[in-house]
Structure formats: C-alpha cells, structure tokens
Amino acid sequence: MDKRGMVFEVRIHGRGGQGVVSAAELLADAAFREGRHAQAFPSFGSERTGAPVVAFCRISDREIRLREPVMHPDALIIQDPTLLHQVDLFSGVPPGAYILINSTLGFADLGLGDFIKDFDPRRLCTVPATDLALRHVGRPVPNVPLLGGFAAISGMMHLASVISAIRDKFPPKVAAANIAAASEAFDGVIKSLALESFHA
Amino acid sequence: MLKQIEGSRAVAEAVALCRPEVICAYPISPQTHIVEALGAMVKGGELQDCEFVNVESEFAAMSVAIGASATGARAYTATASQGLLFMAEAVYNAAGLGLPIVMTIANRAIGAPINIWNDHSDAMALRDAGWLQLFAETNQEAIDLHIQAFRLAEELSLPVMVCMDGFILTHAFERVDIPTQKQVDAFLPTYAPRQMLDPAEPVSIGAMVGPEAFSEVRYLAHAKQLQALSLIPEFAAEFAEIFGRDSGGLVRSYRCEGAETIVVAMGSVLGTIKDVVDEMRDLGVSIGALAIKAFRPFPLTEIRAALQEAKRVVILEKSLAVGIGGILSTNVRMALSHLNIHGYTVIAGLGGRAITKASLHRLFAEAHAERLEHLTFLDLDQGLVERVLERERSMRRSGPIAESILRDLGVVAARL
C-alpha cells in the first residue's frame, strides 16, 4: 500500500463547520467497507465554528495500534485554502505525498509553486470543492467532494466505497446530493490526470 | 457484528446490550457521546425497560445510581475529570454500601489549569474509593470490559469503573465487533442483588458503624477486592469462550520472553508502545511490554511474576503524584519488593500531550542503556519551565503561571 506496505496516513485540515472530522470518518468507513482496518480521529481541540481543525485517518491491512497524531502524512487534504497562510499545513509532509486542496486555482496560483517542485505532479491536485458542494448540496461543505477527489488521485479506495459510506451517514436527500458532488469531483480529477499524462 | 464506529457509540451499544434498568447522566467531555447515544436509544425504544434520568450534576448522577442500585436495578452512569471529583463523596458511598454500579470514566486531566484532554488523573484520584478499576487498551476492549464489568460488579456486589482514554478512544472511529444480545445474555445473568430495598421485605441500607466494627467492614471491602483477583481472570476466560476473543484479565505480557527491559503501562498508549517494541525487537533490543488491565484490585503477584526476570522496568504513566512522582509506578514497585530490578518512572501524556513513537524510541533506548533518571517527564520543555522559574526568582509579582507560560509559548489556543 505505502512504501512499507503497512499503514497509509491521511491528515485533513479545515475549519470548524466544514466537516473535517466527518471527512476522516467517511474515509475510514470507506476503507472498512473494503475489508481494511482504519482509524479516524480528531485533533481534539475545542470545537468552534471557523477555528482551524485537524483530523486524521490511518488505513492498513492489519490492526492499527498506533495512537499518535499523523505527523508524516501520505496524503494531505486541505479543505480551506485560507489556512495556507495561518497554519503550518505542510509540517512533516514528504515529497512523495498526495496533496489535495480545495481551490479553483492551481498550486502555482496559490503561491505553492516553489514548495511543490520536488513533489510528484501526478499526486497533486486542486478540487473546486466548495463550488461543487454549493451546487449539489446547497451549503459550502467541501469535505465530501474532496473525498471523491482523494479516491481518484490516490487509488486507495473505490469511489463506490466512498459512496456507500456517504449513503449510510446522511439522510437520503443529503446523501444523494453529496454523492453527486463526490462523483463529479472524482471524474474531474480522473480527467485532469488523463490530460496530464497526455501532455507528458 | 463488525462495525466502523466511534468508541463512545460502541460503548453505548455494549452498555445497552447489558440491559441496564437505570441510566443517569450529566454531560462532561469527553464522555458525553456515550450517554447521549444511550439517551437516544431509550427514547427511540431500542433500549427498553430502562429509565434514563437527566440529573443536575455529577453528584446527583451518582446519587441516583446509588438509589437505583439499592432498589435492585442494574444502574449505569459515565463521567470524567472534574465530574468524577464532583461526585467523589457519592463514589465512596457506592463502594462502601456495596452497590454494583458500573461507570465509564472517559479519562481526562484535572484542572487547574482547565484542560479537556486525556490523562489518567481522574481515575487515579479515586483509586482508593473502593471501586474496581479496569483499563481498556482499545475500543474493542472497552466494549468487552463493560460487559465483564456488570458481571463482576454484581457477582461481588461492588461497583466497577471502566476507564478508557478520553478522545483517544472515545472519539476514535475504528473497527469493533459488537456482540449479539444472545452472547451477552449467555455471559451476563439477570441481576440477583445481595441486598435491596423491597417493601415486601423491608431492610435499611447504610447503617452508621462505630469503632466496634468499622475496621471489619473496611477489611471486608478489601477482602472482596482480593476475591476479584481470581474472578477477573475467571470471567475473562469465560468471556473468551463465548465471544471468541481475549479481553480484560489482570495483566497481559507482550514479547516479554527473555526481555531485559519491560515497559509497564495502562490504557491506549500500549498500542503505540507495542509498535515501538516490535521495531526495537527488529533491531535486536530485548524489550517487551506489560499491560496492566486491572488497577484495582492491583495484581501484585501477577505483576511480580511477569517482571521478575527483567533487568529493568520502565513504568510509563499518564498521571503525576505531585511531590513524589508516579502513582502506577509506586504500586508496581511494591510488586517488585526485594527484587534487584532497576525501576524507572516516566510521566507522559499529561493533559493530552501526544506520546509519539519517536519519543518512546529515544526513551526506551536510554532506559535500556541505563542512562535514564529515575523520574523522567517525557518531552518536557525544560526551557519553558526555566523561564517561569527565572521570572519567579527575579520578581515578586510574577503573575499566574498558566497565563504567562502560554504567553511565553505565543499560543492563543491549545495545540498538541
């Protein structure tokens, strides 16, 4: 799975109200549906709307015993790009990591051109997650579309598993809207990956 | 049935399977999700023949549990931190009266400074109240211990605390196997009280006892806890037969065969410790771990047997006895009397500070090389401490410590 075939670690950054903890839980649930072990947990701050929030998810084929926060993530999901200037989002992120950012801009336009020069471009993507959420769900909750994007770029899980986790978490109408948003994000990332390999 | 759910939700489902008749609750983080879920189950009809009582404080929660238990009802509550301290008098009473209440402690630090995060200060503060105290390493074990706790409590007519690390376990969303009602019913018989307030056969409970018999009543409390030393493993074995997995017991060794260094701990940190033990074993270091599952009664004999071949023992604990050092370590050292084993006390994870593999690697390597102080505070920021001490030396009105240390750190909100 990862370099040691052991544990794949995800760190999700966002703000209170954006569904950061729910995103980690959905990710763990999707992995569970594929028969894997998964552990999701919040960073345990006092939860206030708008405050920076971090949640973690580990996925493995074996029981996960480790309880430390994820310090060297294999994937980083940034739900709120305004955090780029406030929190040390990239702490401990190795160049091999996947990075997803909720933005309509590219990495260079976000001022991250220098930072990502050692990263694998096939593992980096921005997803217009807030736009997708507003259009499908009617609320600016970027968490679920980003999970669709994560499934696409990482290949860590099938979109179907993410969808089935969403379906069990929300009431039917909200679930359907989120599934549409996640699916569109998934397709968008798959398309941009195909374009990139075409250009390469 | 395998489920991917939050630890608190899992505990609520396990408690519901134990068919409690009275649940009283007062919210306090990080325990709240447990009683919220139970409240919803009672209201939604999933949990029947159970009264859910909202109370006005933790003192009331334990008082209601005492009243309910005295009428012969199976009673449950949950709390943490200041909540446990606030009910302290009633906690002693529940044990002294011999009422088999089961209570979850979602372990959390005690203020001041106010801190909502995990350590074991709350359970340790009431370790001598007369309750059994069981510590869960995982959410699976937390579930399993609750089922065993009702059985133990009612067999002994003593209350039991099931301690699980606040946030680290209560808020972790992971795979658990929720047993069936049939399994739980096969393990946990209907409650047959040794004493109950029954209008048909009136008794009073709670007599005043003077010097003529107080020692004897207290001695009996001790003797019953000693009975638990044989009942806990017996019930854990029976549990394994019905549920198909090992959970609970008194202590559990991990890779201790021939280990020169053994790390002793309680609760969820054992997961991280086991990962580090595996990595150090791969490097050829002879190290193992001992999990203490029952803190009260304290299994002196089993701990001594598990540690006696080691050269050194590192006791890593999430509590601090201010003015002496460790609490768990003081107890463990009693188990090691007259053995020539070096003992190291490590205070770690206070107020939710993350205990990382990297720090444990450094710590265990130092211990293994006999370079550790006998009392160590893991990852203590010595510079930060020195600044406060220097300020206190240089001026009289040095101000409140918590506020000034945060100013020194430059943080406006808590971080790990």
What is the tens place of the pLDDT at every residue in A148-185?
Answer: 999 999 999 999 999 999 999 999 999 999 999 999 99
| Domain B2-243: top CATH class | alpha beta
Distance CA B139, CA A133 (A): 33
**Phi–psi pair at A110, nearest 5 degrees:** -85, 0
- The DSSP code for B376 is E
Instruction: Tell me whether B48 touches chain A (CB under 8 Å).
Output: no
Q: Residue B201: what residue type?
A: E
Contact (CB<8Å) B352/A44: yes
For chain A, say whether B175 makes contact (Cβ under 8 Å).
yes
Domain boundaries, chain B: 2-243, 251-377, 391-416
Percent of chain B with pLDDT over 90: 98
- Say if the Cβ atoms of B173 and A41 lie within 8 Å: yes
3-state secondary structure of B156: helix
Taking CA–CA distances from A71, the nearest residue in chain B reads: B356
Interface of A with B in 72-101 (CB under 8 A): none
Report how far Cα A10 is from the mean position of its chain's Cα atoms: 8
| Distance in angstroms (rounded) separating the CA atoms of residues A121 and A196 | 9
CB-based contact, B171 to chain A, within 8 Å: yes
**Predicted pLDDT at A6:** 82
Which residues in chain A have their CB less than 8 angstroms from residue B271's CB?
64-67
Name the 3-class secondary structure at A7: strand
pLDDT of residue A45: 65
Q: So what's the pLDDT on residue B412? A: 53
What six digits make up the tokens of B55? 């109370």
DSSP A116: G
Please tell me the distance from the alpha carbon of residue A103 to that of residue A18, in angstroms, as a whole number. Answer: 14
Euclidean distance between CA atoms B71 and B68, whole angstroms: 5
List the structure tokens of A108: 């260079």
Alpha carbon distance B134, B225 (integer Å)? 12
Per DSSP, B323 falls in state: T
| A chain contacts of residue B174, beta-carbon cutoff 8 Å | 28, 37-40, 64
pLDDT beyond 50 at B174: yes
The proportion of chain B whose per-residue pLDDT surpasses 70, expressed as a percent, equals: 99
Q: What is the DSSP string of B21-32?
A: SEEEE---TTTH
- Report pLDDT for A4: 40
Report residue B37's pLDDT band, with 50, 70 and 90 as the boundaries.
very high
Q: How far is A45 from chain B (nearest CA, A)?
A: 7
Task: Please check whether residue B112 is in contact with residue B58, taking contact to mean a CB–CB distance below 8 angstroms.
Answer: no
Task: Give the DSSP H/E element, type plus range, for residue A185.
Answer: helix A172-199
**Fold match, B2-243 / B251-377:** yes
Spatial contact of B227 and B247, defined as CB atoms under 8 Å apart = no
Chain A residue with CA closest to B416: the answer is A43
- Structural domains of chain A, with CATH: 7-199 (3.40.920.10)
pLDDT given for residue A2 in this prediction: 40
At A81-97, the pLDDT tens digits run 999 988 889 999 999 99
Question: Half-sphere exposure of residue A118, counting CA atoms within 13 Å on the CB side?
Answer: 6
Average pLDDT over chain A, rounded to whole? 92
Check: complex ipTM more than 0.95:
no
Searching chain B, which residue's CA lies closest to the CA of residue A6?
B275
In A5-24, the residues whose Cβ lies within 8 Å of chain B are 24
pLDDT tier for residue A198 given thresholds of 50, 70 and 90:
low
Annotate B84-122 with DSSP letters as a single string.
Answer: HHHTHHHHHHHHHTT---EEEEEE----SSP--S--SHH
pLDDT single digits (tens) A47-79: 677 889 999 999 999 999 999 999 999 999 999
Are residues A38 and B175, on separate chains, in Cβ contact within 8 Å?
A: yes
CA distance B23 to A29: 30
Residues of A with Cβ-Cβ distance to B172 under 8 angstroms: 39-41, 67
CA distance B320 to B331: 13
Contacts of A41 in chain B (CB under 8 A): 167-168, 171-173
Domain B251-377: give its CATH code: 3.40.50.920
